[in-house]
């Protein structure tokens, strides 16, 4: 497959609005999935940072799903022909918490679309800006980076090595991903992408050595590291996915606080940085 010659400029500026009542049930399910047995959630509670991903979910009819499990393209998202899709990164600014049990709205707009050729083949980058409102007040702004790419070479199973010692003041956590965790997160986000739960598809069709850990799951776990170690509210958060993680071995979360900022990384079993992130306090 070569670089697409289609001009997707007409999709720039396309908008989509989604309403949600922010009922408490998804939050309780997320807390169970993330093993948070200490925080009490009820109507009127503040939604933790990044947990907005458990709301405003796409509800494409079953007949409108593509072979990989994603909704077919050509509606809000442009019909880019490259089959691999990744949520590669995001930048967020938190103005005030979303409140559980109160109606909210997400307004999304496609800001930019760029096509490139890289070492792994042709790529397309779609920038989507999402604004979240409650009572007509802006609560959260998020810019998402969605990447489409051509199929590449099969991904090797990463070698498992001993991690280097973390910094003395670092917050750390070891995560052992398994199909139960990945299935639950897929269910929480209504994400039918088969690489997260269908092992034969992930290995035979997309060339991965195992089930792929969701990038947003890793980002949520990094944010949870901050939430459980610091009582201060987060005003900004950003992350960038650098390499995939799989259900084949544990990975390590590391946070290093420095005044009003926390530098965050997720380390693969081979010691490489699979995701980098940062959180800033208000």
- Point out the least confidently predicted range of 118-127, 175-184, 266-275: 118-127
pLDDT tier, 108 (very low <50, low <70, confident <90, very high otherwise) = very high
pLDDT at 3: 47
> How confident is the model over 210-226, as a mean pLDDT?
98
User: CA 118 to CA 65: how far, in whole Å?
Assistant: 28
Is the pLDDT assigned to residue 235 strictly greater than 90? Answer: yes
**Whole-prediction pTM:** 0.94
pLDDT for 32-71, tens place per residue? 999 999 999 999 999 999 999 999 998 889 999 999 998 8
pLDDT band at 74 (very low <50, low <70, confident <90, very high): confident
- The rounded percent of the chain whose pLDDT value lies above 90 is 81
Alpha carbon distance 266, 19 (integer Å): 33
Residue 21 has pLDDT above 90, yes or no: yes
In terms of DSSP bridges, do strands 121-134 and 171-175 run parallel, antiparallel, or are they unpaired?
unpaired
**Least confident stretch, 61-65, 129-133, 186-190, 266-270:** 61-65
CB 256 within 8 A of CB 169: yes
Q: What is the mean pLDDT of residues 77-87?
A: 88
| H, E, C per residue of 43-91 | CCCECCCCHHHHCCCCCCCHHHECCCCCECCCCCCCCCCCCEEEEEEEE
Q: Which tokens in the block code for residue 260?
A: 């009003």
Residue 34 in contact with residue 220, Cβ under 8 Å? yes
pLDDT surpasses 80 at 120: no
For the chain, which domains are there? 1-152 (3.10.129.10), 154-282 (3.10.129.10)
Q: Is the pLDDT of residue 153 over 90?
A: no
At a CB cut-off of 8 Å and minimum separation 6, what does 134 contact? 22, 98, 99, 102, 103, 104, 105
């Amino acid at each position: 497959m070569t670089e697409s010659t289609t001009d997707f400029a007409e999709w720039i500026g396309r908008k989509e609005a989604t309403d949600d009542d922010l009922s408490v049930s998804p939050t309780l399910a997320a807390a169970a999935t993330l093993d948070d047995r200490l925080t009490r959630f009820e109507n009127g509670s503040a939604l933790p940072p990044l947990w907005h991903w458990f709301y405003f979910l796409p509800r494409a009819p079953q007949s409108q799903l593509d072979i990989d499990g994603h909704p077919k393209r050509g509606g809000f998202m442009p019909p880019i022909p490259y089959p691999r899709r990744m949520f590669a990164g995001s930048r967020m600014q938190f103005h005030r918490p979303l409140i559980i049990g109160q109606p909210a709205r997400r307004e999304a707009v496609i800001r930019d679309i760029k096509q490139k050729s890289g070492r792994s083949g042709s790529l397309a980058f779609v920038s989507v800006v999402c604004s979240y409102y409650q009572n007509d007040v802006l609560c959260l702004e998020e810019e998402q980076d969605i990447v489409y790419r051509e199929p590449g070479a099969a991904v090797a199973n990463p070698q498992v090595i001993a991690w280097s010692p973390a910094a003395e003041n670092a917050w750390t956590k070891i995560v052992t991903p398994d199909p139960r965790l990945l299935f639950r997160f897929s269910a929480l986000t209504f994400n039918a992408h088969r690489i997260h739960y269908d092992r034969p598809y992930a290995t035979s069709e997309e060339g991965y050595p195992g089930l792929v850990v969701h990038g947003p799951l890793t980002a949520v776990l990094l944010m949870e590291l901050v939430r459980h170690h610091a009582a201060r509210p987060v005003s900004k958060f950003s992350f960038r996915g650098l390499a995939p993680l799989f259900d084949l071995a544990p990975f390590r979360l590391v946070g290093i606080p420095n005044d009003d900022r926390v530098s965050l990384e997720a380390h693969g079993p081979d010691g490489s940085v699979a995701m980098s992130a940062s959180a800033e306090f208000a």
